[in-house]
Amino acid sequence: MTAAPAIALAVVLVSAVALFSRRAVLLYRLIRLGKPAKRFDDLPGRVRAEAVVVIGQSKLLQRWLPGLMHAAIFWGFLVLLPTILIAMIGIVDQHATLPWLGEQGWYALMVDLFAFLVLAGVITAFVIRKVQRPPRFAGSHLGEADLILLWIAGIVITLFVWHASRIALGLNEYPAAWAPISSLLARTLGGALNQTVERAAVWAHVLLVLSFLVYLPYSKHLHIFLAAVNVFFGRTKSRGRLEPVDFEAPPDTVRFGSATVADMSWKQMVDTLSCTECGRCQDVCPAYNTGKELSPKLLIMALRDQVLADGPKALASKAAKLSPLVPDAVTDNVVWDCVTCGACVRECPVGIEHIDHIVDLRRNLVMVESRFPEEAGSMLRDIDRASNPWGRAQGDRAQWAQGLDVRVLQPGEAPPDVLFWVGCAPSFDERAKKSAISTAKLLKEAGVDFAILGPREACTGDPARRMGDEYTFQKQAQQNVATLNEAKVTKIITTCPHCFNTIGSEYADFGGRYEVVHHTEFLAGLVREGRLKTLAGERKITYHDSCYLARHNDVIDEPRELVAASGQAVEMPRNRQRTFCCGAGGARMFMEEKRGRPINEERVREAAATGADTLAVGCPFCTVMLDDGVRETGAKLQVIDLASLLSEAVERRKSQNTRQSGGF
């Protein structure tokens, strides 16, 4: 044993760590440049996310082939990590190894198997990229990905050659039979595996590993380090909730969304640096899939490029002139194409929260620049002045309930068991009214003690908030919370998933804490308890999950119970939490869809292809959008709210009972 290899290794190791640290320190400082974000609560939830999403690879495994491919490489690397140390010890002293672990037969077996899995994974990745060529890679850095895959292949191949040479030379500390693949290689190559090959292989292996380590923080492959961090700090509950703007903060610190990279939060910085350009978000995005400018992947990549370009300037000087994110990183169109459906967020394996970026860009455009699609302006004004987005008279809010004998809760009266929060669309829109009427009738039928607020109910502010007009939203939120608290309301039913999400997940930030249930959940409960008796009919029903119910709030089973009670169910390919938006979310209901193909028609075609005759919905906005889509495409579908379907089923049961009793 001579000192030369040890000295050489020390030099290489120190240089690699130095190069790595130089970049890592810059990235750390960029992240610290970010504005505060409250992501240190709910430790158990964060650990669970880490276990399921990172270790368990749950999001990747939603697509089985690329999922298994990635899991093989990821789990392989976890198992192989100690071999880096073993190889370095091997460089210094050919006859030494890591105490205990290096001598274990079972570990040699695991290394052998997992190294093989990594190699299989790399080959699969190449097949996916070169043969299958899924469109989700459009716009990603493809050459960089190839280089990284080759690097990984090189690392594993040199490891195999090294292990095989050690077995050929009799240097293995563990019984050779424990490493079947390396042994097979040793037998096959035989005499070719001499001392020189052994030395070359171990050096090549260590050099590849260390250079890979240095390359990582300069590449999109940085996710190896940051994905785990980003997933850990992701939202663990209330996924549909947006972070409020603190208008009461000292004037210089109020964050009106993001104008430049210096306005982004540290979580958003980590988001952009974590992106590995896999394109799963792009694949499920309703805007991208209907030919619009927005691609959630390209959005995050553009923000990352801006963080890397402008971030160092901001670090160098507080007075540095930074470029505006809109239009320098992304165009106005990209910002306004988003429906905030959350498909991208749900799909992302590294925990990127795209909606937060979009909303922050919108907040800046709306609140600072007054720049937004002008047709949406009247919605904002009407929410502010008339408390509903269409400027209808508040006095008419309870008109839908005429003749239904629904109690309108007056100030000072005792609260009902449940408050029926009707929402603007079911109060005013002719098509959406039907769901309010059916719900009220069913509640009466089951003998539920309920009331509505009538003219005291005001828009929750959801469309204003998703537009970026946080000011109008908070005004609405404070007003509604005051009304609800004053009325001592404890339990609320909504028919609108947007009201459901806003009151249930967001009003707590303004002092409003209530038990909020969607009408489909409440009605399903009444059916289960036998308070509503149903009889399924002939309808073939496909149910459209609305984003703010299924994806943002995980309500998926109760609506299906109502479908089953009403007819025969048939699922669309995109269902439950992986549903496809109707096109109305994110205040898109109040904007013209000028780019690409209409999202609602895309969804209606998917529904029609199931062969169903009925398209069931649980959201007034979806009702309007999909009903328009049916008219537009000429699909043979009836769009109907689940409450109205259930109402039919209850009537059917009643008339059957009448017929039967009439028979006696």
Partner 1 sequence: MEEGDASKEMLTLARKFDAETHAISMEAVQPYAPDAIAALLALVADDLNASAVLAAGTDRGNDVMARLAARTGLPFAANCVAAETGEAVSLTRLRWGDSLWEMARLHSPRPIITVPPHTFPIEDGPSPAEVDVKPFVAQLDAKDQLVRVSQHIAAAGGGISLTEAKVVVSGGRGVGSREGFAIIEELAALLGGAVGCSRVVTSAGWRPHTDQVGQTGTKIAPDLYIACGISGATQHMAGCRNAKRILAINSDAEAPIMLNADYAVIGDLKEIVPAISAEIRRSR
β-bridge pairing 450-451 and 568-569: unpaired
Hey, what are 441's tokens? 């009738």
How many CB atoms within 10 Å of residue 440?
24
Tell me the three-class secondary structure of 124-152, residue by residue. Answer: HHHHHHHHHCCHHHCCCCHHHHHHHHHHH
Among residues 133, 187, 381, 444, the one that binds partner 1 under rule CB under 8 A: 381
Hey, what are 548's tokens? 């703010």
How many CB atoms within 10 Å of residue 20?
17
Q: Does 215 bind partner 1 (CB under 8 A)?
A: no
Where helices occur in 462-570 by DSSP H, the ranges are 462-467, 470-486, 497-501, 519-528, 547-550, 557-566
CB of 597 to partner 1, least distance (A): 11
Per CB under 8 A, which of residues 452..471 are in contact with partner 1?
Answer: 469, 471
Calpha distance 431→423 (Å, rounded): 13
Nearer of residues 274 and 647 to partner 1, judged by Cβ: 647
Calpha distance 35→262 (Å, rounded): 8
Q: Does 366 bind partner 1 (CB under 8 A)?
A: yes
Burial 472-481 (b: 16+ CB within 10 A, else e): bbbbbbebbb
Q: Does 510 bind partner 1 (CB under 8 A)?
A: no
Nearer of residues 43 and 368 to partner 1, judged by Cβ: 368
CB of 592 to partner 1, least distance (A): 5
Among residues 180, 525, 596, 598, the one that binds partner 1 under rule CB under 8 A: 598
Burial 146-177 (b: 16+ CB within 10 A, else e): eebbebbbbbbbbbbbbbbbbbbeebbebebe
Q: Does 369 bind partner 1 (CB under 8 A)?
A: no
Which span (126-134, 300-308, 376-384, 484-492) binds partner 1, by CB under 8 A? 376-384
Q: Does 396 bind partner 1 (CB under 8 A)?
A: no
CB of 150 to partner 1, least distance (A): 49
Among residues 98, 202, 352, 591, the one that binds partner 1 under rule CB under 8 A: 591
CB of 476 to partner 1, least distance (A): 11
CB of 580 to partner 1, least distance (A): 20
Q: What is the residue-wise DSSP string for 523-540? A: HHHHHHTTSS-----S-E
CB of 380 to partner 1, least distance (A): 5
Q: Does 378 bind partner 1 (CB under 8 A)?
A: yes
Which span (42-50, 154-162, 235-243, 589-597) binds partner 1, by CB under 8 A? 589-597
CB of 64 to partner 1, least distance (A): 39
Task: Tell me, rounded to whole angstroms, the distance of Cα 182 from its chain centroid.
Answer: 42
Q: From 181, 175, 201, select the one nearest 90 (Cα to Cα).
A: 201
Nearer of residues 367 and 581 to partner 1, judged by Cβ: 367
CB of 251 to partner 1, least distance (A): 12
Q: Does 632 bind partner 1 (CB under 8 A)?
A: yes
From start to end of 383-457, where are the E strands?
A: 418-421, 450-451
Among residues 144, 384, 509, 571, the one that binds partner 1 under rule CB under 8 A: 384
Among residues 107, 212, 428, 500, the one that binds partner 1 under rule CB under 8 A: 428
CB of 259 to partner 1, least distance (A): 16
Q: Does 155 bind partner 1 (CB under 8 A)?
A: no
Q: Does 54 bind partner 1 (CB under 8 A)?
A: no
Three-class secondary structure of residue 659 per DSSP: helix
Q: Does 595 bind partner 1 (CB under 8 A)?
A: no
- Phi/psi zone of residue 402: left (φ > 0), alpha (ψ -120 to 50 degrees), beta? beta
**Which residues are near partner 1 by CB under 8 A?**
366-367, 370, 375-382, 384-385, 389-392, 425, 428-432, 469, 471-472, 590-593, 598, 624, 628, 631-632
